[in-house]
């Protein structure tokens, strides 16, 4: 592979992926690359002809199937890690920056309305792609500009107005184009007040979510004017288990890996939830988690 001489990061074949996901589930990547920085990522995309390409951040909102992912997985956490203040109200965060790190920096800068991101267990790249949000706010309410990269390794600055954010989705990316940074604007205030807001949100999460157990966060999107967790709980499904996958007793829209769960266990449990909610409420729950890769063929 001649392109290896033109890159600086770590390249592996048949590389395990479960350790890169919050669910700790999934088969291997056929090829795996961890770039050193944004320019190295651009060099890799320009010179590597392996297909398809999948970008992975913190792996907090994905289910990787047991057969793994064909092609090349590019892991961004810990590489696209630059975080800097652009002016008194704006901060630039690359795709590999964790939401928790961004919030910490925003508190330091007295940005009082960034607290909603506290406790969201992902990176900025995933947050931009999924329009991550909580407690009545979403990240795209604060986006001024994004930086994207395409399959040719070309980096572009694009205005927020070029995209249409929705509930856990954003429309406007071209095929084989990914977010690599966001320029985010927040209201400036008092550092102590910003820290107080963060503490309150973290406490709410600790009280209502199984944050210390292996999960992907919310599995299903909330249907209009309702909550997936309420529907699942009212179906009596809390605590139900398939293999090593279990519906949380604390929050019905969380599926926990009890230690030995397979992706097939999770998918079977998801289907039970979908079927039961459909049968009782005539509502078809839509997954929020992104399912990647291939199932193991029997």
Nearest partner of 53 among 152, 148, 125, 129, judged by Cα? 152
Does residue 102 contact residue 117 with C-beta atoms inside 8 Å?
yes
Please confirm whether the linkage preceding 208 is cis (ω < 30° from 0). no
Active-site choice (65, 168, 197, 205): 168
Active-site choice (22, 98, 100, 218): 218
DSSP 139: G
CA distance 103 to 119: 9
Give CA separation, 197 vs 91, 191, 226, in Å: 19, 10, 26
233 is catalytic: no
51 is catalytic: no
Active-site choice (94, 147, 267, 288): 288
CA distance 191 to 105: 11
Q: Which tokens is 15 given?
A: 């590389």
Nearest partner of 75 among 133, 20, 38, judged by Cα? 20
281 burial type by CB count under 10 A (0-12 exposed, 13-18 middle, 19+ buried): middle
288 is catalytic: yes
Active site residues: 168, 218, 288
């Amino acid at each position: 592979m001649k392109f290896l001489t033109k890159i600086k990061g770590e390249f592996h074949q048949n590389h395990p992926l479960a350790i890169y996901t919050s669910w700790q589930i999934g088969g291997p990547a056929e090829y795996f690359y961890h770039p050193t920085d944004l320019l190295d990522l651009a060099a890799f995309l320009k010179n590597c002809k392996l297909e398809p390409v999948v970008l992975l951040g913190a792996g907090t909102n994905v289910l990787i199937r047991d057969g793994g992912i064909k092609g090349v997985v590019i892991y961004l956490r810990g590489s696209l890690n630059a975080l800097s203040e652009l002016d008194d109200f704006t901060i630039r965060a690359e795709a590999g920056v964790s939401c928790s790190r961004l919030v910490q920096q925003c508190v330091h800068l007295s940005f009082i309305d960034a607290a909603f991101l506290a406790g969201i267990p992902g990176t900025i790249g995933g947050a931009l792609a999924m329009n991550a949000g909580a407690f009545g706010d979403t990240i795209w309410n604060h986006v001024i500009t994004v930086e994207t990269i395409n399959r040719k390794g070309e980096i572009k600055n694009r205005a927020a107005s070029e995209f249409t954010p929705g509930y856990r989705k954003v429309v406007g990316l071209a095929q084989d184009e990914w977010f690599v940074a966001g320029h985010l604007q927040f209201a400036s205030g008092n550092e102590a007040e910003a820290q107080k807001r963060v503490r309150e949100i973290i406490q709410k999460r600790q009280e209502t979510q199984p944050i210390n157990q292996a999960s992907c966060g919310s599995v299903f999107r909330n249907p209009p004017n309702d909550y997936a967790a309420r529907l699942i709980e009212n179906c009596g499904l809390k605590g139900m288990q398939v293999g090593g996958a279990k519906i949380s007793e604390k929050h019905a829209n969380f599926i926990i890996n009890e230690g030995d769960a397979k992706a097939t266990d999770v998918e079977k449990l998801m289907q039970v939830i979908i079927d039961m909610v459909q049968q009782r409420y005539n509502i078809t729950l839509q997954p929020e988690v992104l399912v990647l890769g291939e199932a193991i063929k029997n």
